[in-house]
Amino acid sequence: MFKHTLLAASLAFGLTACAEEKTKIVPKLESQPISIEAGLKGDDWRKIEPENLVILTTKYGDVVIELNPEFAPGHVKRFQDMVKARAYNGKEFYRVIDGFVAQGGINTKDDKWPPLEIEQEQPLLEEDVIMPLGNKDLFAEEVGFLNGFAIGMDIKNESKWLLHCPGALAMARGEDRNTGGTDFYIVLDAQRYLDRNMTTFGRVISGMQFIQKLKRGDKNVAGGVIQAPDKGDQIISVKLASELPENEQPKYEVMRTEKQAFMNVINSSRVKSDPFFFFTPPQIVDVCDVDVPTEIADF
């Protein structure tokens, strides 16, 4: 783990780093760091605050999402407000492209919800405690994990951003960068070329199998928008855990990605030592292939 910049890459293999670089950075945007209060499962876990926990109900099952106000405070606030206003209830996933994204929302212009300024990246901060992946990435100078989310980093320009890994929640927009603000999409398969071109503001932590069941459109017709008379699958309801009575709020916890326990998770993904492999794969792993352990802790 390291603060703001990477320690020696060997850290990801459990070795001791010998130096730590620090640079004072002035934040460019007001953000809200994610709480890292210890969870019921112990100090290696953190609980998700109920205001950042979303339950999206489909006919297939409930999809649970963690919002990230640290990276996109404006978009998280907008999404929370639209959820509280029940703006998404009864709407559809109207653009679903196999292996790409599932897009849903109000699918119309509404002056009540004007476009937002894009929040595609945030400054690296001295207090950031980031676990590096430990091997090179094709799309970013460095990648790693911060408070349970996969991130990319530009050390020279002192910036960080959330990645378009499967399950990422982001805001759809038009050609202009500041045209998003209502309709969202969930990434079905890694789309890393979209990193820093869109606002990513959360990730699915449970129920991704239900998103994968959504009715698909034809990617060659209207960009994958499902055509009449067919309709996309309905968003039955969306609510925040904080809107429920306290004794009914689901208590999800995420493994703290700055701890040794998560380093072990990375290494188990990187090192394939099972006797099944007669040709040993190289000890590398893609950042999107590392699953951050998440569990419900209702006890």
CATH number at residue 274: 2.40.100.10
What's phi and psi for 130, nearest 5 deg? Answer: -115, 135
Q: Are 134 and 155 in contact (CB under 8 A)?
A: no
Of 264, 298, 269, 265, nearest to 282 (Cα)? 269
Q: Are 136 and 267 in contact (CB under 8 A)?
A: no
Residue 43's domain spans which residues?
A: 2-296
Q: Tell me: the pLDDT tens digits for 31-76?
A: 566 777 766 778 999 999 999 999 999 999 999 999 999 999 999 9
Distance in angstroms (rounded) separating the CA atoms of residues 123 and 160:
6
Distance in angstroms (rounded) separating the CA atoms of residues 281 and 206:
29
* Paired tokens of 196: 């820093």
Dmax over CA atoms of the chain, in Å, equals 63
What is the pTM (predicted TM-score) of this model?
0.89
Number of domains in the chain: 1
Q: Tell me: the pLDDT tens digits for 182-230?
A: 999 999 999 999 999 999 999 999 999 999 999 999 999 999 999 999 9
